Structure 1
Amino acid sequence: MRNKDTCKLCGNFETLTFEHIPPQGAFNSSPVLFQDKENLLDKSSYRYGGRKRSNRGAGGYHLCGSCNKNTGSWYANDYIDFAKQGAYVLTHRVYANNFICAEYEIKPLNVLKQILTMFVALDNSGFFLKKPSIREFILDRKSKSLPPDIRLLMYMSSAISLRNPLSWSNMDGYARTFGEITFIPFGFHISIETPTINRPFCDISNFSDFEFGEESLITLPLRHLIPQSILPGLYL
């Protein structure tokens, strides 16, 4: 536990609980080293250029107990199952032009909402708190109303941990609002209110067409990408 703060999801001033991002069962139970704004941007800090250690795995105190419990019980296990299938595919399939095409038996809407929950939890800018349509989509587990200005895309990755939840930059000649979360075996890219960048992503925004709890066999052609730096959209 830690002192009260604003929950990134519901916006209430509550005692925050530790949120694993991605869920603990999705290969996120071991200590990790990470970098935050202080390490990357604050040249006056003695921590600049260094890394911080989280003994509990990747994550932090981002959500209140209620939001953590609800999203965990609604979506986390389905994402964990998706990640385990992805890990098997990553280690057992032959790459074809750096693409790995496989079938996944998943609950698409549940998975989509867990991914969005991760983006919202990691946002330190307050951007998502000003977007009630996104929070309402997550907190109403039966809602299929993904805001039309949001695109969620994905790729496959063997990167252990690289998270860039939200960025504003000029890429490919266009000012964009976008972000990424990468944690083996997947990487996720979000574009908000701007066209997606021209990268070999697989668009999974249509996962919102499914019902909550509905299971489906989905074929995903996923490009294998390794992030080049902390900046989203750049790969080796």
Structure 2
Amino acid sequence: MPPPILSSPFLTHSVLDTLLSQPASAQDRINLLSAKIHLYANEPTPGAATGQASSSTPSSSPTSAAPSSVTQIDAAGARSGGLGRDERRIPEMRTRLDLAEVQLNEARQTGESGGYTQQADAALRIVLDWTRGAMKGIERRRKERSGGREEGNPADVNKSGSLSPAVGLGGATEEDATGWESELRAMRRRALGMAIQVEEALGRTGRIVGLGKQLVEEESMQSGS
């Protein structure tokens, strides 16, 4: 039987946001954020007939008895790169980051480096995986759009000689794509910083160097933009 919070017919993003805006224990916040992710993961995907938006199972639902999250929900879906349509997943990924942050803080407060830290690790891996794929999708669409210009397709060029806004990037404008990319990179920097904390807490020093290099690269791109 699912926990009451997930089986409630009144479970909505608005209700959860209201509850999250109020003081609550770390475990309550974990449950609420997990429930919010549960909603995102089970929202129907526009234009999808196969219901791929959710792969959740009862075992991935939050409980009040032990550290838990639904970071495993839709883990496969997190690997679907590209952003033209997938920008709708940004709020979900931001919520996963919020969840990981609460879990890491609780791990520090309680002195444990297993349950909460490993839960945060799972959430961060999903975010890092998805942001990597989404950024590759943006770059791929830019290359496709650039290819259209190089081929001299007049429909792809406006009067000023630049590309028309809807070419590539899933029909999004360049300004939209730039905004999404900035959001993605900000989330990725935040995720990398917390991922390094996870590796330190779990004593997995081997990955710290690689994650640190990625973080430095992202920060250098930010300063150079």
TM-score (norm 2): 0.29
Higher RCO by CA contacts (8 Å cutoff, separation 6 or greater): 1
The structure where helix makes up a greater share of residues is: 2
TM-score w.r.t. the length of structure 1 is 0.28
Which one has the bigger strand percentage? 1
Rg larger in structure:
2
